[in-house]
Structure 1
């Protein structure tokens, strides 16, 4: 590699194959982003404005949708701008910021899913203790945990990356990812700290996934014994279960491909794999919860009919 130890800008090589149809892609992406904004903001507004929805499950759903807005805002505006730019690039500091947003968004999503699984576990498996265990104070602590933990973890990770000397400025991506920046380091020995911290974070969030599976094993076991619990599972847990499985599948697939995948695939397919977690969950989640949760669906229907929340 050419020695470029002081990198001021990164070139986003992933755009190379998109310029032949960039106007069409820009239009479709802009429409898609507007849909993400509309559906997530609608769910958030309904929950905030309706006092009947100021319950732990809906407050956690609100946090879930806010995270969807956070992650997509870190990607789509820059992506849209780059589609109209003759030479897509991003500043060094901007790249580190975007990498931080992408990683913290993904891990905050998993933390939110874990907290929501815990809430459903208490509601179905320990209903008599639900209100004492899921108090306002406990709810605040869980929301803070789901947001602050990823922020702290990836502040350290990105901080370590900022100290590396780089020998390249071409990123084989549409956006900045910390691991791709680390691979541009001049010496692999310098990346030891980054890799160690990354594996610790992966292990930490792996246990989030284990916890979610554990809670659902208990929830399903409880629901099998009771028709009322089965009905509650279908109404409140099924949307969460679909969201969880969708996110875990796309993020694990992306993580495995980024670490071990072949670069022989067409650039367009590589790009799609890279942005799956920014395409599917942010739009699918509010749609699932909006249609499946009875209270939210009723509020939406009331608004459509011209009523007030």
Structure 2
């Protein structure tokens, strides 16, 4: 084992030397973060205030919008503060906190999308049982289960990271990435690697599998219904499919990127790919659901512009 001193902080080396461009980057990211928080908050308020939206699908959407704010907050405040740092250091506790928030909220997002896919499956494939299977009370229990499931899954994996000792402290990203943190450990036990894979399976592979099964069954129904009903099904499911596709791309960049040699890419492209899931998804979600779904669009117009 290598000799090492106690690591009390990590250096986020991907920032590099951005010089005076830091003011431009800071302004762009701050405006982007404000827009994400504002757009998602507006839709949460719309769903809360319009009793016609107090239905299972929209309650699940409200949780999704709330989680997008949490995901963004797990990155942007640290990202903005690091813009004006000369050393780009982050202490061990803050690094671990960011890791916990990021992975738990991503797991919540995928589990929430799984619940939404199940909601659409029940609505389309078993409409007569929908009110029983997807009552508001049951949706509340599902959302509670989503958060408990995500938290316990990640904390199990994280419990194997806490005892690690580190022989290096340079992370080649703009945020604390668990895979790169584990690589800096002086030694990694088989249980640590297995727990990391277990979390990936439980919070990424399993939700994607369940979502795929739901949409395959929905697609099968689409092939047998009328053109008008098919159009309605497509309108309802398109935002979820777009969100899922974008998340899949973001997770692919996040998981595969550190395992590939992509040094030939420009540094700025490397940084964008590493935070892709933070950049686009929190913005895609409110605009896809807010602008695409007729009931939310109408409620927004009614609450924001109708003064009667």
**Shared fold (TM-score greater than 0.5)?**
yes
Matched ranges for 1:120-135 at <5 A: 120-135=120-135
Aligned equivalent of 2:217: 218
1:10-44: CA deviation from partner (whole Å, max 9, x where unpaired): 11111114345111100100111111011100111
Shift of 1:253: 2.6
Q: Is 1:142–2:131 an aligned residue pair? A: no
Output the CA distance in 2 between the equivalents of 1:94 and 1:2.
Answer: 25
- What is the DSSP-based 3-state SS (H/G/I as helix, E as strand, rest coil) of the residue aligned with 2:10? strand
- Root-mean-square deviation (Å): 1.7
Output the CA distance in 1 between the equivalents of 2:199 and 2:299.
Answer: 39
Matched ranges for 1:23-172 at <5 A: 23-172=23-172
Shift of 1:249: 1.7
Output the CA distance in 2 between the equivalents of 1:157 and 1:18.
Answer: 35
* Stretches of 4+ aligned residues off by more than 4 angstroms: none
Q: Is 1:281–2:281 an aligned residue pair? A: yes
Aligned equivalent of 2:206: 207
Identify which range, 136-145 or 114-123, moves more after superposition: 136-145
Output the CA distance in 1 between the equivalents of 2:293 and 2:163.
Answer: 47
Tell me, yes or no, if the aligned pair for 1:79 and 1:174 is still in contact at 8 Å: yes
Identify which range, 151-160 or 256-265, moves more after superposition: 256-265
Q: Is 1:184–2:184 an aligned residue pair? A: yes
Identify which range, 220-229 or 110-119, moves more after superposition: 220-229
Tell me, yes or no, if the aligned pair for 2:239 and 2:289 is still in contact at 8 Å: yes
Output the CA distance in 2 between the equivalents of 1:242 and 1:60.
Answer: 17
Seen in structure 2, the aligned counterparts of structure 1 residues 27 and 104 have a Cα distance that, compared at 3 Å, is same
Tell me, yes or no, if the aligned pair for 1:67 and 1:109 is still in contact at 8 Å: yes
Tell me, yes or no, if the aligned pair for 1:17 and 1:268 is still in contact at 8 Å: no
Tell me, yes or no, if the aligned pair for 1:3 and 1:166 is still in contact at 8 Å: no
1:166-217: CA deviation from partner (whole Å, max 9, x where unpaired): 0011111101111111100112xx3422210111122223121111111111
Tell me, yes or no, if the aligned pair for 2:160 and 2:195 is still in contact at 8 Å: no
Of 195, 198, 204, the residue aligned with 1:197 is: 195
Output the CA distance in 2 between the equivalents of 1:40 and 1:164.
Answer: 37
TM-score by length of 2: 0.94
- What is the DSSP-based 3-state SS (H/G/I as helix, E as strand, rest coil) of the residue aligned with 2:223? helix
TM-score by length of 1: 0.94
Shift of 1:157: 1.9
Output the CA distance in 2 between the equivalents of 1:17 and 1:255.
Answer: 26
